[in-house]
Structure 1
Amino acid sequence: MKKKIMIQWFEQGSIAIPKLLMIHYRKMGLNEIEFMVLLHVHTFLESGKTFPTPDEIADRMTISSVQCMEVLRTLVQNGFLMIEGSQKDGALCESYSLQPLWEKILQLLMNETISEELEMQQQLENSLYSIFEQEFGRPLSPFECETLTMWQDQDHHTPVIIQTALREAVLSGKLNFRYIDRILFEWKKNGIKTVEQAQQYGQKFRANQTRNSAPMRQETKYTGKVPFYNWLEQ
């Protein structure tokens, strides 16, 4: 639906398509002559002339009408340009449509966005391994690496949430994978999906732990040790 709406915007000239073409035409497999022919077709369409002839397009360029006709044929064959037919006053009328071109531009931009997201995700994952190894003070075991992968691929926890769970385990004085797994399980069960939600949930949990252990602390002497909060007792 969004794709269709954007194509309609393109058709209405509300987006600077020539700029998009200028930036991406080479990546789309177009050469300079094909790019200019498409640009001239776009200009004709915006001015209300829906089916300019090769002569009319070639008059604005340094190529012959024959060359222009061949370029137009190539653009149609390669899916950059489309010829549409319609009835007007009982006669068949033809017109050019740049919708295939807009679709190719959108697909290119979507693919680039996906590639950037995957690259960023990979960087986050690599960074996550480094953060765990730094916090544990040693290289992770194969089982621990597999657990990290499982949290992301099977349990669909984001690297940021996993890192937040690691911090929570450090605060609780329980730096081990079983404990972190329990934290992630509790968060998922309670619909925790963002860092802010996780931090709020952790604060409430520690507050409850503190209240529950208050009477015991009054009967014992201060030892100077920092209390830890046990998520495994949930």
Structure 2
Amino acid sequence: MIKYLKDLECINLERLLLLRGKELSLTDEECHILLLIDTFVTLHKKMITPSLLLKYSSLTPHEMDHILDSLLKKKWIFNKNGAICLNHFEEKLLENKEAPVEEKMNMIDVFEEQFGRPLTPMEFDSIKEWVQSGYSEEMILKALKEAVKSQVLTLRYIEGILINWAQNGVKERYIDEKPQERKVKESHYHWWEDE
């Protein structure tokens, strides 16, 4: 199917490489070399060698070796009887492998969930001002947690907590640490030797 779409020129792999290069962890030089190799493959050039690539590039032989070595390690190319070949080039460009995104909770959603109602525009602006004045989202959410524990769900109370923590130098209220193990001194008394 991919070959069919490419043959119909529905997919332009060269443009796709240029647009997705950064996302695929490719440097500009690596993209350039891959484009050269793909061009030679399209022109049915059977023996693509580093010296051939050097003729069409401004890179030094040392830089070319470094880039080809990097592309080999990233499995974009492979060596077949001294010739450079692309390794599943089209599939790699077309695959949609998104990194697992950590679900970060939206702070406004957390407030609305805890308050049990949508926030008013003024409340929304107040929270925005806290962030702009230097409070981290984590700190604001911890202040909200403190307000929920105290069963006082007002932004004024939460702001009071933040101000109190800032004045007293408290950076984080709830430090997630393992409780320190209680150390008991070892006794070297051998009770069985007293007899």
Q: TM-score range by the shorter chain?
A: 0.3 to 0.5
TM-score, scaled relative to structure 1: 0.38
TM-score, scaled relative to structure 2: 0.44
- Kindly indicate which of the two structures has a greater share of residues assigned to helix: 1
